[in-house]
Structure 1
């Protein structure tokens, strides 16, 4: 099995008092599954205040320094597949991909093949020597848009450091339910939902999460938003918009029961009924190039299904506006 060493450090605050070690770590390092973290603890890869702790039930007291020195499986065991990729940019150090809806980023228990990793390994076989085949950050399966992939260890180190230091610029387009008056920011902590295993939620002891948003266009019962991430928690935009009572159109996990507007054309109703994924698209990605240090950014227009839905929202607004 091919492995890559990984080092993680975090100083916790008082909010973790009484939490299990594995839970505190999985919420902080949410790129790694709780089961993986539990395995690291059992194998002695985790130190709390410079002492090895091998029990996942270890209770946190707050203000501890936790260090993880572990090994992760790299792409050597994953299969290369000839899957088409929409490559926005490629050079010796990195790739920028415009991910379509329905494409899973990483192989997993339910998706061992047909993922973006499998496609990347076919395009650049050398990525098998990098953690996660060089992928730096994730998008949900049904979210579209821009992702950066490192092609070298040096680039991977630089990009991961930038991401951890919140140096990436990441802007998203979203179509949300209800009309938002104006933009603002939401600063609300996110963690695992207390009862829904696959969902996240705003909870008091979650990790800090900050999303900035502005209104791009208003419709009769919907809004087109531009959002920028300051942090990068799992499902962050989806959770924050639901928390604000402006859930993303089509979101199967966070939108709740859809209320049909009173002023709606048959065409818009049909478009909304058929939109079965979250209307969320990563449209802008900016970062410092790992080789030159120069700031660079890329843009990707909304995919056809979101653009068509937006066009129907415009037509619906114009139709009922003309009736008045």
Structure 2
């Protein structure tokens, strides 16, 4: 079965002087360079509305690049009976609350057992929708809300809305360190120079903006509410690590646990055993892709996140009593 791949974005200034194929590789890192080059040669790439078949064409920054390619699915994904926590569903969309330890889309190391396989089981008609209707992803161990399109029309509209930044996604997180006020991290994100599975703040990356505000301060940690303006891979995790406040438990960007002095044994154990990033997609708001109705959903914090927050709050109280 053929899948339609559609992307549209402006060339960042950091691509000044780069070839078209190099620019595409930077802008769309989810696809291999060979596949991107094949799309160029096949006439599936336009620059400022005109088909461009020369991979060596130089870019200047600011051009509008669009990909509209049809590819045969390399793998036929199988439906699997994996439970889904469905928050909302109608004829066009469904919203799920994803648990930790569940990959969204099959890939290297995770050929099945994913959200995609579960969606195909729950809704077999998603077989004809690219990526089984998945519009955006959450990392394997990030919990919370995701919207899925049940039709191609709904998916097209939602992808366009996401690119226009008309879908609001808010997260809760616990970060290491004491943060005194909210702010904005406006730093480009791209592939790490040497660790290809990692992302990093890099001059050649794509524009990335994360807004955050302080919800609660603990002795050596801060509970945050964050809003994505863009949606890059690992964006919140990379941005918070970049400003020296990595998320608690982050196995890639977080470093070792950082307990406060004289922490209770329970808090010490929790910080040492929290092996995933303390990050939860708590709110999702969008205009329904077919009816145009504004819809908003909220997802309660998962149990491990709740327990972490409670222990940090208790640590605050115990410390305040001792000081008194």
Query: Under TM normalisation by the shorter chain, which class is it?
Result: over 0.9
Stretches of structure 2 lacking an aligned partner (at least 5 in a row): none
SS at structure 2 position matched to 1:10: strand
Residues 110 and 7 (structure 1), Cα distance of their counterparts in 2 relative to 1, 3 Å cut: same
- Which residue is equivalent to 1:52? 52
- Structure 2 distance, partners of 1:73, 1:112, is 18
- For 2:113, the equivalent position in structure 1 comes to 114
C-alpha RMSD of matched pairs (Å): 2.0
Partner SS state of residue 180, structure 2:
coil
**Map of 1:203 onto structure 2:** 202
- Output the CA distance in 1 between the equivalents of 2:9 and 2:299: 34
Aligned residues: 322
Structure 1 unaligned spans of 5+: none
Q: Which moved more, 1:173-182 or 1:153-162?
A: 153-162
CA 1:291/1:62 → structure 2, altered by over 3 Å: closer, same or farther? closer
Identify the residue that residue 69 of structure 2 maps to in structure 1: 70
Residue in 1 that maps onto 2:234: 235
The offset of 1:15, in angstroms, is 2.0
Alpha-carbon distance between aligned partners in 1 of 2:85 and 2:114, rounded to the nearest angstrom: 13
Compared with structure 1, are the counterparts of its residues 19 and 81 closer, same or farther at alpha carbon in structure 2 (3 Å cutoff)? Answer: same
Q: Equivalent residue of 2:97, what SS?
A: strand
Give the distance between the partners of 2:193 and 2:107, measured in 1 at CA: 23
SS, match of residue 8 in structure 2: strand
1:14 positional shift: 3.3
Report what 1:25 is aligned to: 24
Task: Decide whether the 8 Å contact of 2:220 with 2:258 is kept in 1.
Answer: no
What are the Cα deviations for residues 260-297 of structure 1, in whole angstroms up to 9, with x where unaligned?
43231111000010000100000000000112211101
What TM-score do you get using the length of structure 1 for normalisation?
Answer: 0.93
Aligned counterpart, 1:224: 223
Give the secondary-structure state (helix, strand or coil) at the position aligned to 1:148.
strand
Distance 1:198 1:308, change over 3 A: same
Return the offset for 1:69.
2.4
* Correspondence list, 1:1-324, <5 A: 2-30=1-29, 32=31, 34=33, 36-41=35-40, 43-48=42-47, 50-53=50-53, 55=55, 59-73=58-72, 77-324=76-323
Structure 1: distance between partners of 2:165 and 2:147: 15
Which whole-Å CA distance do the structure 1 matches of 2:285 and 2:89 have between them?
15
**Within 1, Cα distance between the matches of 2:124 and 2:28?**
28
1:34-87 per-residue CA deviation (whole Å, 9 max, x = no partner) reads 5543443454533446353354x6653434443322124569811000000000
**Offset of 1:207 from its aligned partner?**
1.2
> Tell me, what secondary structure is at the counterpart of 1:96?
strand
Is 2:89–2:95's contact at 8 Å kept on the other side of the alignment? yes
Inter-partner Cα distance in structure 2 for 1:287 and 1:312: 34
Answer whether contact 2:190 2:204 (CA < 8 A) is retained: yes
The 3 A distance-change label for structure 1 pair 23 and 313 is farther
125-134 or 289-298, which deviates more: 289-298
Query: Could you give the per-residue CA deviations for residues 218-256 of structure 1, whole angstroms, max 9, x where no partner exists?
Result: 111101100000111111100110011110001111112
Q: Is the 8 A contact 1:76 1:128 kept in 2?
A: no
Instruction: Answer whether contact 1:130 1:153 (CA < 8 A) is retained.
Output: yes
**Aligned equivalents of 2:109, 2:98: Cα separation in 1:** 19
What is the TM-score with the length of structure 2 in the denominator? Answer: 0.93
Q: Provide closer, same or farther for how the CA distance between residues 232 and 218 of structure 1 changes in structure 2, counting only shifts above 3 A.
A: same
Contact kept in structure 1, 2:208 and 2:235, CA below 8 Å: yes
